[in-house]
Structure 1
Amino acid sequence: MGLTETSTAPRDVVRRQYLASAAGDLDALRATLAPDVEWTEMAGFPLAGTYRTPEGVTSNVMTRLAEEWEGWAAHDDTYVVDGENVVVLARYTAAHRGTGKELNVRVAHHFVVRGGLIVRFEQFVDTALVRDAATA
């Protein structure tokens, strides 16, 4: 099945989230998130913590990334799907606005999708590489 706006297949929901993020469409991104979503940025990451609600996720993660990084992008390339679990291997690219240093780091994201919405997200990334790019 191809990606459609209405597909509730876990892979399609997660893919819509990446496309919305890439387009800077926070309304579309929030539409992929459950009202009680738990979104966890890894310990050691600049935005480490668990955020709840679609608005909480976009204001505390996506908006802040755009403020701190030029061209922040998550390039999703490999999907592993097991029922409601979707693991995506991806790459972050950006330039830190304060240091000008480039970031190019591999990441893994674990999503849980229920009822056509993302209910949980967990990020895995080499936080030292992110910190190095953000440090003068």
Structure 2
Amino acid sequence: MTETSTAPTDVVRRQYLASAARDLNALRATLAPDVEWTEMAGFPLAGTYRTPSGVTSNVMEKLAEEWDDWAAHDDTYVADGENVVVLARYTAVNKATGKPLAVRVAHHFVVRGGLIVRFEQFVDTAKVREAMQS
């Protein structure tokens, strides 16, 4: 993978690397100006966010406020043209309860012109909520 590659899987991988490094500028650089980023219904941050700064301020920064060591571990990539599905895991510890989270997730990305234009999250929201309840 080269830094300048616009191949959909490379763009998505850069997004995960930026997230892991907590580099919000690098993460925003992977997102299209009109990105639609959807967190699943039932997830604490459920909703669709637009613009790169809207995504990082409403998702990544909020996760950092409520969880210690939030990480999305990208395990398996399945690509079909501009569609990239990533089978992954979230791990974290909820700051309020001290409870750990370890849950499988699937992420669907659509990449066009070297940028992520759409994201949809699939996660067992009950497991997330369980870690948030004392």
**Residue type matched to 1:64 in 2?**
K
**Residue type matched to 1:33 in 2?**
L
**Residue type matched to 2:38 in 1?**
T
2:75 pairs with 1:77: yes
Which residue in 2 is equivalent to 1:116? 114
- 5 Å matches for 1:1-136? 3-136=1-134
The alignment partner of 1:104 has SS state of strand
Question: Could you list the per-position Cα deviations for residues 32-58 of structure 1 after superposition, in whole angstroms to 9, with x for gaps in the alignment?
Answer: 000000000000000000000000000
Question: Could you list the per-position Cα deviations for residues 51-110 of structure 1 after superposition, in whole angstroms to 9, with x for gaps in the alignment?
Answer: 000000000000000010000000001000000000000000000000000000000000
TM-score w.r.t. structure 1 length?
0.98
TM-score w.r.t. structure 2 length?
1.00
Q: Quick one: percent identity of the two aligned structures?
A: 84
Q: What runs of 5+ residues in structure 2 fail to find an aligned partner? A: none
CA RMSD of aligned residues (A): 0.3
Question: Structure 2: how far apart are the matches of 1:127 and 1:44?
Answer: 6
The alignment partner of 1:4 has SS state of coil
Residue correspondences, number: 134
Question: Structure 2: how far apart are the matches of 1:106 and 1:9?
Answer: 25
After superposing on structure 2, the runs of 4+ consecutive aligned residues of structure 1 that deviate more than 3 Å are: none
**Residue type matched to 1:118 in 2?**
I
